[in-house]
Structure 1
Amino acid sequence: MKKFLIVVGILFALGIVGVFAITKIDFNRMNADNYYLQITEDGVPHENKLDDGSIMTSYSYQLDATNADGKTIPLEFTAIKNLRKDAYLKMYVKKGDQVSSYDEVKLEEIPQKAQKKLK
């Protein structure tokens, strides 16, 4: 009986790991508030020298973002490339103003109250 419970426990644990692998859960987006913004300007470039001597450039942005209720907050975030002007982004925000992730979206995918603030 003891061996049976151990085997069942191992299979259960493997099943949970398999579910996470299949569904590809992004913990950066879990329990995050959604805000929306439009890229209106180029990002500010920042060059960082890596240990191997190569240079990596990132781009920082400071823009206002609006949630589905129409509430607007300032957000500061970085990207690994200069983002496309006029692109709409869905921001995943934690702890009030910390951007954990973002996706490019179409204007039609943005809630109406947020759309009105972006136009």
Structure 2
Amino acid sequence: MKKFLIVVGILFALGVVGVFAITKIDFNRMNADNYYLQITEDGIPHDYKLDDGSVMTTYSYQLDATNADGKTIPLKFTAQKNLRKDAYLKMYVKKDDQVSSYDEVELEDIPNKAQKQLK
């Protein structure tokens, strides 16, 4: 009976850790390369009609992004809203050109080599 309670306690602890990991860790950003870019133009709107009849609009962008070493690549990505012009974004890129997530950052938060490419 004592061994059973220990096993149940360990499984409960693993379940709690698993739930915490699922809710708090952003797996889209894990093992992703960081690139930086500046929004210089409005996104291209795309309307999608949902099953309930409502319309959802997404905005697509195609901009050049630079990593901390100064390497520049073209990136295509979408956003749920039209992003603010002149905003700086930190892009999380997987498999060379697939954007998995992004954050808005300040110019001072961008590495120096990437800043020089963006100016």
TM range (shorter): over 0.9
Name the SS for the 1:90 alignment partner. strand
SS in 1 for 2:84: coil
In the other structure, the counterpart of 1:29 is 29
Q: Secondary structure at 1:108's aligned position in 2?
A: helix
Please list every run of 5 or more consecutive structure 2 residues that lacks an aligned counterpart in the other structure: none
After TM superposition, the score normalised by the length of structure 1 is 0.92
Which residue is equivalent to 2:114?
114
Q: Matched residue of 2:83: which SS? A: coil
Give RMSD over aligned pairs. Answer: 1.4
Aligned to 1:9: 10
TM-score (norm 2): 0.92
Is the partner of 1:28 in helix, strand or coil?
A: coil
Cα drift, residue 21 of structure 1 = 5.7
* Residues 3-62 of structure 1: CA deviation (Å, up to 9, x unaligned): 14422322331342254267x110000000000000000000000000011111000000
Q: In 2, Cα distance between the equivalents of 1:86 and 1:67?
A: 18
Gaps of 5+ in 1: none
Counterpart of 1:88?
Answer: 88
**1:76-99 Cα distance to aligned partner (Å, 9 max, x none):** 000000000000000000000000
1:20 lines up with 2:17 in the alignment: no
Matches of 2:59 and 2:12, distance apart in 1: 45
Cα deviation 1:97-117 (Å, max 9, x = unaligned): 000000000000000000000
- Structure 2 distance, partners of 1:99, 1:116, is 22
Q: How many residues align?
A: 118
Runs of 4+ that moved beyond 3 A: none
Q: Which amino acid is 1:29 matched to?
A: R
* Letter of the 2:75 counterpart: L
Identity, % of aligned positions: 73
